[in-house]
A and B are shown apart, each in its own frame.
Chain A
Amino acid sequence: GAGVSQSPSNKVTEKGKDVELRCDPISGHTALYWYRQSLGQGLEFLIYFQGNSAPDKSGLPSDRFSAERTGGSVSTLTIQRTQQEDSAVYLCASSLPTSGGAGEQFFGPGTRLTVL
């Protein structure tokens, strides 16, 4: 079956512009995560959606970042007024709900964002 897909794979934008990054999770996965990874670094948690519950936005670095998940499936991460420090790979992951803690996450290929 299809895995997690993300688009675009690469995005180059000018400082101050808005960008939208898309994630299409695996069908049936109710949990969806966004992470950011700067060059040579680990993954920084941004936001987490679980079913119809309110999203956990605790990782969003500023109010320029927002995300939504429509119909419990596709998610869009929006960065307004982009800054050069926003340049990174943005990774999306999805998972099935589990008891007893976080389960295996399935990652998309990521979107490499470059802000000039």
Chain B
Amino acid sequence: SQQGEEDPQALSIQEGENATMNCSYKTSINNLQWYRQNSGRGLVHLILIRSNEREKHSGRLRVTLDTSKKSSSLLITASRAADTASYFCATGLIQGAQKLVFGQGTRLTINP
């Protein structure tokens, strides 16, 4: 079964609003990463949060990690039309060396 589950599957908001996406996972992890994908092609790494971290910021991005609940959230503040994309969480498992397990993604649409 899928390790990462994103919620919601799709999100549509107005430009300038904040967007929050959630990710839940099942097994213990070393780290959790978020990626963005435009137009169904290559993914771009956004941020990595380690299992001993609770929150991390990068520009307009804020990621939280709750290992007790096996969940993470990605917050994009002051959204822009260019943020329209699919967002995936990926977990680096303790048992699994260098592999990442990706979720199904959240499709984010920013309306001008």
Contact = CB atoms under 8 A, between A and B. Distances in A.
Tell me if B's interface is mostly helix, strand, loop or mixed.
strand
A101 B44 contact: no
Contacts of B90: 43, 102
Interface stretch (B14-22, B58-66, B69-77, B97-105): B97-105
Contacts of A4: 42
Interface string A35-71: 1010101110100101000001000000000000000
B88 A42 contact: yes
Interface residues of A, number: 30
A84 interface: no
Contacts of A41: 104-105
B interface residue count range (under 10 / 10 to 19 / 20 to 34 / 35 or more) = 20 to 34
Given A37-B40, A42-B104, A45-B99, A101 B45 contact: no
Contacts of A109: 41-42
B1 interface: no
A101 B31 contact: yes
A97 to B, nearest CB: 7
Contacts of A45: 99-102
Contact of A56 (B30, B45, B50, B99): B99
Nearest to A44: B102
B41 to A, nearest CB: 5
Contacts of B96: 102
Interface string A17-35: 0000000000000010101
Contacts of B108: none
6 contacts: A45-B100, A103-B92, A105-B100, A106-B45, A107-B42, A107-B43
Contacts of A97: 98
Contacts of B102: 35, 42-43, 45
B98 A95 contact: yes
Contacts of A85: none
Given A42-B105, A89-B40, A102 B99 contact: yes
B110 interface: no
